[in-house]
Amino acid sequence: MTVALPLGAEELRLATHREADGGARLRLAVPGMNCGGCVAKIESVVRAIPGIADARANLTRKSLTVGWQGAQTDEAALVAALRGAGFDAFPLDAEETDVLDGAERRDLVTRMAVAGFASANVMLLSVSVWAGADDATRDLLHWISALIAIPAVAYAGRPFFASALRALRAGRLNMDAPISLAVILAVAVSLAEVLRGGADAYFDAAVMLLFLLLIGRWLDRTMRDQARSAARALGRMVPRGAWILDDTGAQQYRAAQDVCPGDTVLLRAGERLPVDGVVLSGTGTVDAALVTGESLPVPVTTGMVLDAGILSLDAILTVEATRTGEDTSLAEITRLCAAAEDRKSRLARLADKAASIYAPVVHLVALATFLGWIATGASARDGLLAAVAVLIVTCPCALGLAAPMAQAVASGALFRRGIMLKDGAALERLALVDRVVFDKTGVLTRGALSIMNAEALSDDVLRRATSLAAHSTHPLARSLVTLGETRGLSPLPVDDVREVPGEGLIGKIAGCAMRLGSAAHCGQPDMPSRPGPACCYVEDDAEPVAIHFEDGLRSDAPDVVAALGAAGLKLSLLSGDRAETVARVGGYLGIGEALPNLRPEDKIARVEAWQARGEAVLMVGDGINDAPALSAATVSMAPSSGSDIGRTASDLVFTGENLSAVLNAWRIARRTRRIILQNFALAAGYNAIAIPVAALGYAGPLVAAIAMSSSSLLVTLNALRLSGRTA
Amino acid sequence: MTNLLFLIPAALFLGLLGLGAFLWSLKADQYDDLDGEAERILHDDPI
């Protein structure tokens, strides 16, 4: 059960950006903004607040920028107003804002525009040359082409030159090396041709190559930024600060990194603990689902050790901070994730593998062409021209577009199915998976408690019970309210409501006293027990009603697990929950290998053991305790309802109630891989024809331009096939 | 061939004009929220 963090005014104030002229700006993520109507509603709600000067919602990024003058505006009232209108809002920090603004993406678009302008104009001039301009006219057109192309190449080619240089310095060859060489050589040879009044200039090929490749690069970038910002905007689970009680009993709000060991932290109902600590006082229950995978609320006792990230359901606790900041269990998990990420980043991408074969071959063929021409007695100029034609005609742009184009189209197809992809390379890894590892709580199960004996409850009893339950944030009460809503029962007014932490609720409806809570709370200690959590509802002298809950499986979990098994994938279940629950779920779904009581270190060790045997592992998990294993796994998926650290560690994030996202993503990944390989085959086939033609000197600038654009077009059209059919 | 002396600069100027307009609109955040702008035209009140 993931309850969104209620935001304190203090936390919002930390996120507000003050400007020199006394103005203030606050950027909020509003995950629920899905339609044009939402935009209008959000903006009108915020503008109605006195003092707000400006509010602008961004539907693409699901964000809202609010500006006001002076200090009198209450940030918390702003968020409360949004929540009142049905939208949760979270402040965005500087790093998130950077991703949203997409500085790098904008830089690529600028370069793309310059390359596009240059290639259109140079092509216009080149067409005149091909059409038969000669002598002085040809020279003039070539000179103008050179004046446009050289600055354009110098500017638009920078990302490729820089990346090629970085790779060369590290002793590797990437795709950008042959691209850079082809562009620079083409421009240099063309310039030499122009200077001596020759006929062959490749300025058009050089700028068009850059233009097409920048499109590929920009697609790749956009896809990554989009998924990343969407994943981040889902909501944050770990608070940035805590209330500290000092010796005099005064309360003070401090940022999480300023909390010291020994401080007394006050944790109220509905808040998450930002540090590790020991309970000093207070009773009630906490939700550890995201921290340990434990699906049921845990009762708290004095002296109990709590990890950072635990959510207090109904307890008001004072906790002595034992480990803070970099020492918390949460920070330790972040470090485990970073280490695992580091190992994973060494896995080569398909495009890089293709480049590592392609680059040396092309360079050798170009060199051989040059030497061959010299050996047969031709001039160095003719040899160089043929070599440049080889470099350009071998369609590096088809190769450069082959993978990003397919991945961008696949990412769009996934996005429409509610799956966000953070990195195109993850799709390549997903296609090769041998084993799927599930976490239980929140992945196979919904992570929300549902009522087992719903049919046994009459509408009347349920209406009274839910009216009382509406006054609590406890997950059992919440799921009662949800059941009441699905049955269309409107709540009754309740008087004298009181919540006894860790026990239950007391209240009156029309003078009739009633209690909802634990068996003891209702005075029924001998209530019939069933496995799983239960609560009891009793009014005055009437017969008590027992309500049983379970953490229900996602409705399509059996089908998805069966389909993955039928496809020949090995299945495992790694859970931090108790043995009997895990065994029951594993048995029901037919997952043979179901291991309970695992800590984060155990999960990562299991995953790495499988990988050591040469298996590619897909990990599907949601909790903080899954995060290291998610990072270590070959590829990983998390539901959007999971912990933010789990989502950050995952390559794919899926929204919605359906586990079929896992199956869909896997199928799309396999189709994408097929398309990418087809694209590489197309490019290779092209080269098989184009290289001999170019090496023998039959490929002039016109042939090069046609070869390049048609191969790019073919690869793009092939990639577009991914968007059509449903998975 | 003398008309080339007018036509080429004219073509380049128009091209540059287009490039300048695009870069300006990019800087002015006009491509920031394409989905949102498409919806805003349906709103009743002028914003």
Q: What is the DSSP string of A380-427?
A: HHHHHHHHHHHHHHT-HHHHHHHHHHHHHHHHHHHHHTTEEES-HHHH
Q: What is the DSSP string of A201-230?
A: --HHHHHHHHHHHHHHHHHHHHHHHHHHHH
Q: Which residues, other chains included, contact B33 with Cβ-Cβ below 8 Å and sequence gap of 6+?
A: A58, A59, A60, A61
pLDDT value for A392:
81
pLDDT value for A101:
62
Structural element, H or E, at residue A703? helix A701-724
**Does the distance separating the beta carbons of B12 and A117 come in below 8 Å?**
no
Percent of chain A clearing pLDDT 90 (strictly above): 11
CA A209 to CA A536: how far, in whole Å? Answer: 71
pLDDT value for A3:
36
Q: How confident is the model at residue A663 (pLDDT cuts 50, 70, 90)?
A: very high
pLDDT value for A2:
35
CA atoms within 13 A on the CB side of A165: 6
Q: Does A644 participate in catalysis according to the annotation?
A: no
Report helix, strand or coil for A30.
coil
By the CB < 8 Å criterion, does A113 face chain B? yes
By the CB < 8 Å criterion, does B7 face chain A? no
> Nearest residue of B to residue A54 by CA position?
B47
> Nearest residue of A to residue B16 by CA position?
A117
Whether domain A9-101 has CATH 3.40.220.10:
no
Min Cα–Cα distance to chain B from A21, Å: 22
Report helix, strand or coil for A257.
helix
The conformation of residue A454, written as its DSSP 8-state character, comes to G
User: Of the candidates A161, A312, A205, which has an alpha carbon nearest to the alpha carbon of residue A705?
Assistant: A205
The conformation of residue A22, written as its DSSP 8-state character, comes to S
**Does the distance separating the beta carbons of A124 and B42 come in below 8 Å?**
no
Total domain count for chain B? 1
Catalytic residue among A88, A220, A225, A439, which?
A439
B39 contact residues in A (CB cutoff 8 A): 35-37, 39, 59
B contact test, residue of A46, A56, A59, A126 with most B CBs within 10 A: A59
**Does the distance separating the beta carbons of B18 and A117 come in below 8 Å?**
yes
User: Of the candidates A63, A124, A120, A60, which has an alpha carbon nearest to the alpha carbon of residue A92?
Assistant: A63
The conformation of residue A568, written as its DSSP 8-state character, comes to T
Q: What is the DSSP string of A638-693?
A: EETTS-HHHHHH-SEEE-SS-THHHHHHHHHHHHHHHHHHHHHHHHHHHHHHHHHH
**Does the distance separating the beta carbons of B36 and A57 come in below 8 Å?**
yes
Q: Any idea which residue has 């040879």 for tokens? A: A189
pLDDT value for A161:
93
pLDDT value for A1:
32
Q: What is the DSSP string of A103-119?
A: HHHHHHHHHHHHHHHHH
A121 contact residues in B (CB cutoff 8 A): 11-12, 15
By the CB < 8 Å criterion, does A117 face chain B? yes
- Average pLDDT on A362-381 reads 88
Residue B9, domain member (yes or no): yes
Domain ranges of chain A: 9-101, 103-230+347-406+671-724, 241-325, 448-552
Residue B46, domain member (yes or no): no
**Does the distance separating the beta carbons of B4 and A121 come in below 8 Å?**
no
Q: How confident is the model at residue A617 (pLDDT cuts 50, 70, 90)?
A: very high
Asked if A281 contacts A267 with a C-beta cutoff of 8 angstroms, the reply is: no
Min Cα–Cα distance to chain A from B14, Å: 10
Structural element, H or E, at residue A505? strand A504-509
pLDDT value for A316:
79
**Does the distance separating the beta carbons of A117 and B16 come in below 8 Å?**
yes
CA B22 to CA A115: how far, in whole Å? Answer: 13
> Nearest residue of A to residue B38 by CA position?
A36
By the CB < 8 Å criterion, does A147 face chain B? no
- Average pLDDT on A590-594 reads 86
B32 contact residues in A (CB cutoff 8 A): 58, 60-61
The number of residues in chain B equals 47
B11 contact residues in A (CB cutoff 8 A): 121, 124
Q: Residues A316-345: pLDDT tens digits?
A: 788 888 887 677 777 777 777 666 666 655
Percent of chain A clearing pLDDT 70 (strictly above): 88
Range of the domain at B26: 3-38
Residue of A37, A40, A114 with shortest CB distance to B19: A114
Name the most confidently modeled range: A124-128, A155-159, A306-310: A155-159
Whether domain A448-552 has CATH 2.60.120.1440:
no
**Does the distance separating the beta carbons of A40 and B43 come in below 8 Å?**
yes
pLDDT value for A41:
86
> Nearest residue of A to residue B10 by CA position?
A121
- Average pLDDT on A31-49 reads 82
Cα separations in angstroms, A310 against A306, A603, A678: 7, 20, 49
Window 16-45 of B, Cβ < 8 Å to A: 16, 18-19, 22-23, 26, 31-36, 38-40, 42-43, 45
Q: pLDDT at residue A680 above 80? A: yes
A60 contact residues in B (CB cutoff 8 A): 32-36
Q: Residues A227-278: pLDDT tens digits?
A: 666 555 554 555 667 788 877 777 777 777 778 888 888 887 777 788 888 8
A39 contact residues in B (CB cutoff 8 A): 36, 39-40, 43
Asked if A29 contacts A90 with a C-beta cutoff of 8 angstroms, the reply is: yes
**Does the distance separating the beta carbons of A61 and B23 come in below 8 Å?**
no
pLDDT value for A727:
41
Give the alpha-carbon dihedral of A90, A91, A94, A99, to 10 degrees. 30
- Average pLDDT on A677-697 reads 85
Residue B44, domain member (yes or no): no
Q: What is the DSSP string of A280-347?
A: EE--EEEE-HHHH---S-EEE-TT-EE-TT-EESS--EEEEEEE-GGGSHHHHHHHHHHHHHHHHTTS
By the CB < 8 Å criterion, does A114 face chain B? yes
DSSP H helix total and E strand total for chain A: 24, 27
Residue of B11, B16, B36 with shortest CB distance to A58: B36
Average per-residue pLDDT for chain A: 80
Neighbour-count burial of A310, counting CB atoms closer than 10 A to its CB (0-12 exposed, 13-18 middle, 19+ buried): buried
Name the most confidently modeled range: A81-95, A182-196, A643-657: A182-196
Q: Residues A443-474: pLDDT tens digits?
A: 888 766 777 777 777 788 888 888 888 877 67
Min Cα–Cα distance to chain A from B39, Å: 5
Q: What are phi and psi of A254, to 5 degrees?
A: -125, 145
pLDDT value for B24:
94
pLDDT value for B19:
93
Residue B47, domain member (yes or no): no
Among A94-108, A423-437, A576-590, A660-674, where is mean pLDDT lowest?
A: A94-108
Spell out the CATH class of A241-325: mainly beta
Q: Which amino acid is at A259?
A: V
pLDDT value for A726:
47
Q: Residues A387-403: pLDDT tens digits?
A: 888 888 876 777 777 88
Q: Residues A526-563: pLDDT tens digits?
A: 665 555 566 777 777 677 788 877 777 888 888 999 99
Residue B23, domain member (yes or no): yes
